[in-house]
Amino acid sequence: MAYQKTSSLIIQSAKDDSGIILTEEQISKLKTAAGVALAVIAAGGVISLSVLAPNLLAALGSLHKQLKGGRKRTAKDKAREASRVVYYLKRNGYINMEPDEKGWKIRLSNLGKKKLIDLNIESLIVPRQRQWNGKWWQVAADIPTEHYRNMADLLRDKLKAMHFYSLQRSLWYYPYDPRREVEFASQFYGISHFVTVMEISRLDKDDEEMLVRYFKSLKII
């Protein structure tokens, strides 16, 4: 589908009001317009252009608001950006577009699904809670490095990037429930059967003081 045709279809479809699919937090994690578009399409499964357009425009508006800066963008500017994003995804094989009696149906290709998973692992964070309950979550990653050294290193780097604190080489700590995120990362690296996550209510006093200082310094608690 040519860019000009995509642009006109987006502008026409953007007049519909279908509500936004992604949350502000999800949008902030994705960081790029292409990532946001892939997530919107994935959330809809098989999504019509008339549903995609208003949701994509709203999500891109939220993304730009979070990034801040730049000139004020008109409705036409936003529609053109959405058009460029959809055209980019189609041209690079991340989405499939099929005509139907109501317009166009869009779905992620296998390449698009892989791209979204890669984006998700890159932007993975543990959501904060309004108030910390004073307990800790422990990640025990007892990974045999003889056969899984690279994967063990990747998981360790990911936990560091997510601001987990290691009291021992295979034990990591965080103040909020990280089960979903740790499970996603460990499955992505193919080592989930070596990783255990549990909530603990008591730690050595010195260790706990160290954790509190660390997470307060990052304003996580």
What is the domain partition of the chain in residue ranges? 3-122, 136-217
pLDDT reading at 20 higher than 50: no
Provide the whole-model pTM. 0.67
Q: Who wins on pLDDT, 165 or 59?
A: 165
* C-alpha to C-alpha distance for 154 and 164, rounded to whole angstroms: 14
Amino acid at 189: Y
The backbone torsions φ and ψ at residue 166, rounded to the nearest 5 degrees and listed phi first, read: -100, 120
Q: What's the whole-number average pLDDT of the chain?
A: 83
Q: What is the pLDDT of residue 94?
A: 92
Q: pLDDT confidence of 28, banded at 50, 70, 90?
A: low
* C-alpha to C-alpha distance for 22 and 14, rounded to whole angstroms: 17
* C-alpha to C-alpha distance for 88 and 10, rounded to whole angstroms: 14
Which residues on neighbouring strands pair with residue 199, listed in sequence order? Answer: 137
Q: pLDDT digit string (tens) for 209-221?
A: 999 999 999 999 9
What percentage of the chain reaches a pLDDT higher than 70? 82
pLDDT reading at 8 higher than 60: no
Q: pLDDT digit string (tens) for 94-119?
A: 999 888 776 788 999 999 999 888 88
Q: What is the pLDDT of residue 29?
A: 63
Q: What's the fold here for domain 3-122?
A: Arc Repressor Mutant, subunit A (1.10.10)
Q: What is the pLDDT of residue 189?
A: 92
Which residues on neighbouring strands pair with residue 105, listed in sequence order? Answer: 48, 98
Q: What is the pLDDT of residue 185?
A: 93
Q: What's the fold here for domain 136-217?
A: Alpha-Beta Plaits (3.30.70)
What percentage of the chain reaches a pLDDT higher than 90? 42
CA nearest to 158, candidates 112, 213, 166: 166
